[in-house]
Amino acid sequence: MSEPIVRAVELSKVYGEGDTTTVALDAVSFSIEPGEFVVLLGPSGSGKTTLLNQIGALEGSTSGTLTVDGVELSGMSEKQRTEYRRRTVGFVFQFYNLVPTLTAHENVALIAEITGDHPDDRSEEVLSSVGLADRSGYFPAELSGGQQQRVAIARGIVKDPPLLLCDEPTGALDLETGQHILDLLRSTTAGTDRTVFLVTHNSTIAQMADRVIRLRDGKIVADDRNDRPLEPAELRW
């Protein structure tokens, strides 16, 4: 068995001070193997997004340890966090947040530029892989929601990160489009060691995952393997 790509030990995150504290994560522990498709499932306020943010080094933890790809995240400086996000993590968010003044190609190339690896070639290749080769010169306002999310996925994977972190990627989409997006997320990681974390409150989507970590009130209440993950097309919500 290979080394876990992500290992959390007694990880906690507390917001606020004194009488107004909120325990968003309460001493969670888990480890994830490379290449797993992990769904973080839970109701609103369960801590799933907080956990995703911890893995993405968007914010620091209060206590405990979190190691990603052999790197301990706690105690990192902001500069180190930026470098970590640049090299290790790709993000896909619910509301895409593409730069409206850049074309699809340029939105992807913007991220590719920071790694310095032939941004134009790489961007075209990745856009093709998400089925948008013929839309690379379009601006976000000229794309549908699903197409914009595909650009966001392309943006997330263009630098070939070991981790792809997705926060409610289908939250703003209809069923059919959402299925396509989930299918895309699956296919772009198939045959690679890329590990995907997908946050959702929709338990249906959890059926396509290799691992489902359920959270409630900041605690992991279940951590299950899915022996027969469904194809996205089979999902109905």
Partner 1 sequence: MVGVLMFAATYDSYRNLKASYAQTYERLAFADIAISGGSADLASTLAGIDGVAAVTVRRRADVPVLVAETTIRGRLIGMPIGDQPSVDRIDVQRGTYLTQPSDAVAEVHVARTFSLEPGSTIDVLVGSGPTLQIAGVAASAEYIWPAASTNEIFPDAHQFGVFFVDDDLLAGLPPSAVVSETLVTYTADADRATTDDAVRAAAIDAGATGILTMAEQPSNSTLQLDVEGFGTMAIAFPILFLSAAGLAVYVMMTRIVFSQRSIIGTLRASGLSAGELGRHYLGFGLWIGVVGSVVGTVLGVASGAAMTSIYTGELDIPDTVIILRPMTIVIGLSFGVLAGVVSAVVPARTASRTEPAEAMRGAAPAMSGGRSIVERALPWLSRTSVRTRMVMRGIGRAKRRSLATVLGVVLALVLILASGGMIDTVVSLIDQQFNDIALEDASVIPRTPLTDETLSAIASTSGVAVVEPVATLPASIRSDGDTVSTTIRGFEAGTRMHGWSNAAGSLPDHGVLAARSLQQRLGISIGDTVAIDLPTLDTTIDLTLVDFVDEPLGMPLYVRNDVLIGALTSAGVDNAEAVLAEPTTTAALVLFDGTGTRASTISGIERIDGVLTVHDARSLYLQVQQYLGLFYVFVGIMLVFGAVMAFALMFATISVNISERSAEFANMRANGLSERTIGRMIAGENLLLTVLGIVPGVILGVVAANWFMGLFDNDSFSFTVTVHPITIAVAVGGMIVVAILSMIPGIRSVRRLDLGSVVRERAV
Where residue 62 falls (left for φ over 0; alpha for ψ -120 to 50; beta otherwise) is: alpha
Place of tokens 């030990």: 9
Q: How far is the CB of 225 from partner 1 (least distance, A)?
A: 28
Is the Cβ of residue 103 or residue 207 nearer to partner 1 in the bound state?
103
- Which two three-digit tokens encode residue 45? 């306020």
Binding of partner 1 at residue 95 (CB under 8 A)? Answer: yes
Binding of partner 1 at residue 111 (CB under 8 A)? Answer: yes
Handedness of CA 174, 211, 14, 70 (dihedral sign): negative
Look up residue 230 and give its amino acid: L
Binding of partner 1 at residue 91 (CB under 8 A)? Answer: yes
The CA distance from 94 to 102, in Å, is 19
Question: Which 67-86 positions form the footprint of partner 1 (CB under 8 A)?
Answer: 78-79, 82-83, 85-86
| Binding window for partner 1 (CB under 8 A); candidates: 91-99, 179-187, 189-197, 211-219 | 91-99
Question: Which 134-153 positions form the footprint of partner 1 (CB under 8 A)?
Answer: 139-142
Binding of partner 1 at residue 59 (CB under 8 A)? Answer: yes
C-alpha closest to that of 188 among 233, 150, 221, 217: 150
Is the Cβ of residue 67 or residue 94 nearer to partner 1 in the bound state?
94
The CA distance from 52 to 46, in Å, is 12
| Binding window for partner 1 (CB under 8 A); candidates: 3-11, 88-96, 127-135, 222-230 | 88-96
Binding of partner 1 at residue 110 (CB under 8 A)? Answer: yes
Handedness of CA 125, 130, 134, 135 (dihedral sign): negative
Q: How far is the CB of 188 from partner 1 (least distance, A)?
A: 16
SS3 150: helix
DSSP letter, residue 203: T
Listed in sequence order, the residues at least 6 apart from 17 whose beta carbon sits closer than 8 Å to its beta carbon are: none
| Binding window for partner 1 (CB under 8 A); candidates: 25-33, 47-55, 185-193, 208-216 | 47-55
Residues that bind partner 1 (CB under 8 A): 49-50, 53, 56, 58-59, 78-79, 82-83, 85-87, 89-91, 93-95, 97, 99-103, 106, 109-111, 113-115, 119, 139-142, 155-156, 159, 167
